[in-house]
Amino acid sequence: MAPKDNLKQPGEALFEAFGRSAAGHPPDEVISAAMNIVLNVVRQRSSRRTEAMQAMNELFGRSMDALMQHYDGTTDRRRSVVPFDQVITVEHSRFQTTFGRLGKNGHT
């Protein structure tokens, strides 16, 4: 394992804090909390409805691209990235940055 870089990527500390807070909560609660954060940030950044819709369309488009990288296009099944006997939590699984200044995105 390579040594950790002391300089964190923008948003990484925030993502890790959310992951720690989300640990132990059901996936639906984590998704709801994450979406509420996204919606509030978009609402605060966008003064017009059309701007907010455009921002959400862009975020969901990039998110879908990132999500589909974790599924096999031939079998339509999730790609196995960890042994099946492991429990995946928010802080253990990450997507590459897809949201620009919003930081990193995670999944359960």
Q: Is residue 3 part of a domain?
A: no
Q: Is residue 32 part of a domain?
A: yes
Q: Could you report the per-residue pLDDT of 87-107, keeping only the tens digit for each? A: 556 555 555 655 555 444 454
Cβ–Cβ under 8 Å, residues 93 and 108: yes
Q: Is residue 4 part of a domain?
A: no
By residue range, what is the domain housing residue 50?
27-72+84-108
Q: The pTM is what?
A: 0.62
Q: Is residue 108 part of a domain?
A: yes
Q: What is the pLDDT along the chain (108 residues), one digit of tens a residue?
A: 444 555 567 788 898 999 999 999 999 999 999 999 999 999 999 999 999 999 999 999 999 998 998 898 889 998 876 555 555 565 555 556 555 554 444 544
Q: How many domains does the chain have?
A: 1
Q: Is residue 50 part of a domain?
A: yes
Give one DSSP letter per residue of 39-92, joined into a string: HHHHHHH-SSHHHHHHHHHHHHHHHHHHHHTTB-TTT-SB---S-TTSPP-GGG
